[in-house]
Amino acid sequence: MQIKVEEKDEMIMRLVHYFVTEEDYSPIVVRGVKDEIWLQNTSGPYKIIRINANYIHNKEQYDFDIMKLNNVMRQIKRKTLSWSMNALNILLNVNSDVKIEENKNIESVYLDNIKEISEPPIINEFPEINEKLLKEDGISLMIDVTNDINKKTEKENKKFEKLFSPKKIVATNAIIVINVIAFFLTLLLSNMNLTASKLVEYGGLFAPYIKNMELYRLIAAGFLHVSIFHLLFNMYALYILGTQVENFVGKTKFLIIYFYSMITASLMSAIIHPSVVSVGASGAIFGLLGALLYFGYYYRLYLGSILKNQIIPLIVINLLFGMIMPGVDNAAHIGGLIGGLFIALALGVEQNNEEKFKVNGIIVSLIFVAFLFYTLFFIR
């Protein structure tokens, strides 16, 4: 018995196959819709592609359909924390009397048959679509579409399993050990009395000494702590955040993020508080928060709720806490946070192959640290 596939269904299968396997779009579930396919790629020329097989018989129904599309786009925009959202709206069943109109952030096109894909606007953004559409018909098309999408999904799942699976944590634990050793060593050397002058002697951050080219203090200060409570609080935060960041990027990139953030935190602290002695790992720890902010935003399809409900509130609460509590160096926290965000952009993520993002990250990271050095040495 020969299985016959309707022409509209064949169009949908060919389109979905192309966008998923060739353009890295992922299917998304939109509640309350029927006979529609929704695809999403936050890095694509269209953030949303919607394929609608429902019959649109007059202008009023078309306007209602656009309103519904706008509403769903707003929901997706909030969920993914996107600044902007545009969509390609592919209509497969429209009355000939209905005029397809221009809409803000929505590009609509009516396809009566697969040959019309060569017409604008799709050809402008996806110039290879004609060559890469499957040519099979009927049951062969169904089998090939199913197999290819399954292979693509399996490949993507392996990528994210590699990214998010637990790994052996080395660098974070090593930094914690160094901090603990440094604290007890300085405690013994100071006869159990860690005063500000003693902390300066051991490498604490003090702007006049930095200007005297004692640049080692930009890092040394990050391994000194005032008290056992100061140490325990920072090491607990370092363990929680460091484990996450190192798990995402590996020990080498983790160390780059940590020490770059430590330097930017120290510089910002020296600029804002030129006569205050500052020590502690919290500036570098805020750098890890900045890195998590970037990773959470890049993987917002998977980490969107964590970004919105955990990472951002944690940053805000800690910055507010720093404003309220005396003796907390919020300048270092802000410097570390910005530094961690910029250097994470420079290092990139494994699934992002666009070099322009890394180049932009390197440029802003260099500009930021150069600006801080210039401000400290030539303005303050």
* Residues tagged active-site: 282, 333
Q: Is 131 exposed, middle or buried (0-12, 13-18, 19+ CB in 10 A)?
A: exposed
- Which residue shows structure tokens 């430590």? 262
Provide the phi-psi class of 284: left if phi over 0, else alpha when psi is between -120 and 50, else beta. Answer: alpha
Report how far residue 120's alpha carbon sits from residue 270's, in angstroms, rounded to the nearest whole number. 57
Most distant pair of Cα atoms in the chain: their distance: 91
Question: Helix, strand, or coil here: 195?
Answer: coil
Residue 323 backbone phi and psi in degrees, to 5: -75, -30
Instruction: Indicate the SS3 state at residue 68.
Output: helix
Question: Tokens representing 105?
Answer: 């952030």
Residue 270 in tokens: 């020296």
Is residue 277 helix, strand or coil?
Answer: coil
87-97 burial, b at 16+ Cβ within 10 Å, e below that, comes to bbbbbbebeee
Q: What is the CA radius of gyration of the chain?
A: 27
Task: For 197-236, give the DSSP string.
Answer: HHHHHTT-B-HHHHHTT-TTHHHHGGG--SSHHHHHHHHH
114 Cβ contact list (under 8 Å, min separation 6):
10, 11, 14, 133
CA angle at 360 for the pair 354 and 364, rounded to the nearest 5°: 155
What is the three-class DSSP state of 124? Answer: helix
Spell out the alpha helix ranges (H) of the chain. 7-21, 59-80, 122-125, 129-132, 138-164, 171-189, 196-201, 207-211, 217-220, 228-249, 251-272, 282-298, 300-306, 312-324, 330-347, 355-374
